[in-house]
Structure 1
């Protein structure tokens, strides 16, 4: 989730949680990261999210954030254990970066020479460390302008993606990258707000009762979380950037701006 005002994700998480072993086969752990200022609240559990007491805590705890990344794992590489549970977190240029991957990278084993080393055994964490190490080596003086960073992430992702399926979400708390290799979809909720019904749980929320006219929230998921809203399918091979609750053009001529206001509840 990426939004222009701190927002809770309780509604979407209710449907997302069910996919971890109840309505889907992804039962090998789950995690969620909430950015708060320059800090991150990170919850991880190697249990299936549908049976996790930690997931129940998160579902009932309305943490407000501008950027949230959640992941439900189906293990392809690495045992089912806490250190292999997404999302993964690292520091780069004085900010926390959070990453979650869906897919399987075969034979991906570039040499890591810097400060970023995987703790677990997954191809996902290896890819994240390689991405962070490559960015730090390319921009040793600090974070580059966003259009330059966007092109660098896209180039590195293309290289990693040659080894297999590389759908991922990446954020430093200021914006959200979403890379689609095979399956991703998104929706932008903004005024006039309407009701939404979850696909995986019989829950409906009328966002018009919980929001203000200026609120805007983008939700990205492997497959749509609701069945009465128009989600947009992201084309394979696409890197998207979300800022303030909407996709933005981060190409050479693109511009971005950052704003914010009070808490909302339309995630």
Structure 2
């Protein structure tokens, strides 16, 4: 599928070493890379539909210090959608109150018909982008009914409800940022880890340093981070995703179709 990464801290830190280690995993995730940083309260996003280790653009970026309080990265192994730039993570979209949302996803949506209506609205053709559009619609609906902006706790509660429902029969490892909160969710064992230290909060699909303090992200819970600390934590749901032979076959068939297109080109 994919690998995901985020860094959350109360002060800007340089994280080039972690990013270099993360992007070196792209041999097994060759279908694109992405990087999102916050600068002057705005997202700066770079992404390409090529293997990270083959990208001169990424090498140029990493040759300079990457310093920030909120940094997100992604390497893609496609299971839904073409190998094109609009399908590379992170995805970014604004809600009706002009709040920018960013999402990266590791997983596949096998069964969630509510996302189908977004196929004609997204820029690419991934299930991951549809998740973001769906969440934003629900935030817009909530704030319209409220008649004003949501609080961070209201947004956390809303996203928790949406993600619990979305995670039934689907792999939903997510990192989302709404300008205030960084949301973290995993529902598959041994697929997301975190390290909390003096530098901040690191979360990645696999440990990125030799530090023995890396721990698995607690399964089936939504967490919200601000300034390197967990401020909200949901109750545990029961929608653990277990990869079956049927899931594996669906993924293999899609990867074969990609390889056939590449060979025809």
Tell me, yes or no, whether TM beats 0.5: yes
Structure with greater helix percent: 2
Alignment of 1:32 onto 2:35:
yes
User: What's the TM-score, normalizing by structure 2?
Assistant: 0.78
| Residue in 2 that maps onto 1:209 | none
| Residue in 2 that maps onto 1:244 | 227
Of 99, 110, 115 in structure 1, the residue corresponding to residue 114 of structure 2 is 110
Deviation at 1:96, TM superposition (A): 1.6
Q: Distance in 2 between matches of 1:129 and 1:111?
A: 9
Greater shift, 150-159 or 53-62, is seen at 53-62
Deviations 1:111-136 (A, max 9, x none): 6779x931111111111111111111
Deviations 1:62-118 (A, max 9, x none): 23222111111000011111111001001123222110000010133326779x931
Q: Distance in 1 between matches of 2:181 and 2:40?
A: 12
In the alignment, structure 2 segments of 5+ residues that lack a partner are 1-6, 236-265
Aligned residue pair count? 223
User: What's the TM-score, normalizing by structure 1?
Assistant: 0.78
Do the aligned partners of 2:115 and 2:127 also contact (CA within 8 Å) in 1? no
| Residue in 2 that maps onto 1:153 | 159
Do the aligned partners of 2:34 and 2:46 also contact (CA within 8 Å) in 1? yes
Do the aligned partners of 1:6 and 1:64 also contact (CA within 8 Å) in 2? yes
Deviations 1:219-263 (A, max 9, x none): 1111211123311211221111111112223579xxxxxxxxxxx
Q: Distance in 2 between matches of 1:241 and 1:118?
A: 26
> Bigger relative contact order, structure 1 or 2, given CA contacts below 8 A and separation 6+?
1
Do the aligned partners of 2:16 and 2:65 also contact (CA within 8 Å) in 1? yes
Q: Secondary structure of the equivalent of 1:117?
A: coil
| Residue in 2 that maps onto 1:119 | 123
